[in-house]
């Protein structure tokens, strides 16, 4: 076998996205004949180049699956155009869609993170307690700590799952990222209220 075949096999067999570093670690952990020793000398840059090559070859061959780079690594995925048919195999796994208010709130957090609930509400003009809780439960946002302002309110930011859910490798890939972050948005009036949640009750941040 050649190195590219090994890389393909590792990505195919993995139940999670793989980074070039993880692939190199797997190659170095294998033991046996001379071939294993040869593959163990592969560098991360070489693996990254092979992944890009495999990605292009799959696209050019018109296959029903693709090699996609996500925030957490590379993963084989079915072509999005095949979704209506693939979805029939997993009727019980159909995710519920995010509501309009949830998408709007998520966008505000994504472009202005870390951000307090009060500032999100200042932009939307309505209470967002339930929406934020829903986004937390979906692991699309997490608690990033407390703001250093009176009352020390909780701060919210997006998670790595958010990037993977929307097919992004980094926040900079969000549409019009730089432009939208520069736009001035309403902010909550300064508060002198005491914190409503003790620090010990802050939910654990998602990895």
**For residue 193, what pLDDT band results from cuts at 50, 70 and 90?**
very low
Boundary-marking domain end, from 81, 111, 143:
81
Lowest mean per-residue pLDDT among 87-101, 104-118, 127-141, 147-161: 87-101
Query: Which strand ranges, in their side-by-side order, compose the sheet holding 115-116?
Result: 115-116, 154-158, 141-146
User: pLDDT tens across 21-74, in order?
Assistant: 999 999 988 865 555 678 888 999 999 999 999 999 999 999 999 999 887 899
| CA 82 and chain centroid, separation | 22
User: pLDDT tens across 135-151, in order?
Assistant: 999 999 999 999 998 88
Boundary-marking domain end, from 54, 81, 108:
81
Q: Which residue has the higher pLDDT, 90 or 24?
A: 24
180 shares its domain with 131? yes
Whole-model pTM above 0.75?
Answer: no
Q: Which domain holds residue 108?
A: 100-194
Nearest to 61 by CA among 79, 82, 46: 79
The whole-angstrom separation of Cα 118 and Cα 3 is 53
The whole-angstrom separation of Cα 70 and Cα 97 is 21
67 shares its domain with 110? no
Q: What is the pLDDT of residue 131?
A: 93
CATH classification at residue 130: 1.10.10.10
Q: Which residue has the higher pLDDT, 188 or 55?
A: 55
Output helix, strand, coil percentages for the chain, rounded to the nearest 5: 50, 15, 35
Q: What is the pLDDT of residue 8?
A: 95
């Amino acid at each position: 076998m050649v190195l590219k075949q090994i890389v393909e096999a590792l990505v195919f067999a993995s139940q999670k996205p793989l980074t070039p570093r993880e692939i190199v670690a797997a190659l170095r952990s294998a033991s046996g004949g001379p071939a294993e020793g040869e593959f163990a000398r592969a560098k991360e840059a070489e693996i990254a180049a092979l992944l890009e090559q495999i990605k292009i070859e799959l696209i050019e061959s018109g296959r029903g699956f693709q090699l996609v780079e996500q925030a957490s690594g590379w993963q084989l995925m079915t072509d999005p155009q095949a979704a209506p048919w693939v979805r029939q195999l997993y009727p019980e796994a159909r995710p519920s869609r995010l509501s309009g208010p949830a998408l709007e709130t998520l966008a505000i957090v994504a472009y202005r993170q870390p951000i307090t609930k009060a500032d999100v509400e200042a932009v939307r003009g309505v209470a967002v307690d339930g929406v934020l809780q829903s986004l937390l439960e979906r692991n699309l946002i997490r608690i990033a700590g407390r703001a250093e302002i009176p009352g020390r309110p909780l701060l919210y930011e997006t998670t790595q799952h958010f990037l993977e859910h929307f097919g992004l490798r980094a926040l900079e890939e969000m549409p019009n990222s730089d432009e939208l972050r520069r736009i001035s948005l309403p902010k909550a009036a300064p508060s002198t209220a005491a914190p409503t949640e003790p620090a010990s009750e802050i939910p654990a941040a998602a990895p």
